[in-house]
Amino acid sequence: MAALGTGALVALPYCWLLLRSAGRIRTTRNVPATGTALVLGAGVRRDGTPSLILRGRLEVAQDLLESGKVRRIVVSGSPRSRGHSEPVVMRDHLVSRGVPAELVLLDESGVDTWCSCRHAAEDLGLREVTVVTTGFHLRRAVALCRRTGMETWGVGHDARAAGLRRVAARGARREALAVVKAFWWRHHP
What percentage of the chain reaches a pLDDT higher than 90? 67
What radius of gyration do the chain's Cα atoms show? 16
Report the b/e string of 59-94 with b at 16+ CB within 10 A: bbbbbbbeeebbeebbbbbbeebeebbbbbbbbbbb
What percentage of the chain reaches a pLDDT higher than 70? 85
**SS3 of 128, please?**
strand
Q: Which tens digit of pLDDT belongs to each residue from 173-184? A: 777 777 777 777
Q: Using the 8-state DSSP alphabet, how is residue 171 labeled? A: H
Residue, of 51 and 12, whose pLDDT is higher: 51
Q: How far apart are CA 143 and CA 189, in angstroms?
A: 13
Structural domains of the chain, ranges and CATH numbers in brackets? 21-184 (3.40.50.620)
Q: Among candidates 78, 89, 179, which has minimal Cα distance to 136?
A: 179
Q: How far apart are CA 50 and CA 178, in angstroms?
A: 23
Note the pLDDT of residue 189. Answer: 45
Residue 156 CB contacts under 8 Å (≥ 6 apart), including other chains: 25, 60, 132, 133, 134, 135, 137, 138
**Mean per-residue pLDDT over the chain, rounded:** 88
For the cut 80, the answer to whether the pLDDT of residue 161 exceeds it is no
Q: Among candidates 136, 135, 132, which has minimal Cα distance to 110?
A: 132
Q: Which tens digit of pLDDT belongs to each residue from 101-147? A: 999 999 999 999 999 999 999 999 999 999 999 998 999 999 999 99
Q: Among candidates 82, 100, 83, which has minimal Cα distance to 91?
A: 100
**pLDDT range class, residue 186, cuts 50, 70, 90:** low
For the cut 50, the answer to whether the pLDDT of residue 59 exceeds it is yes
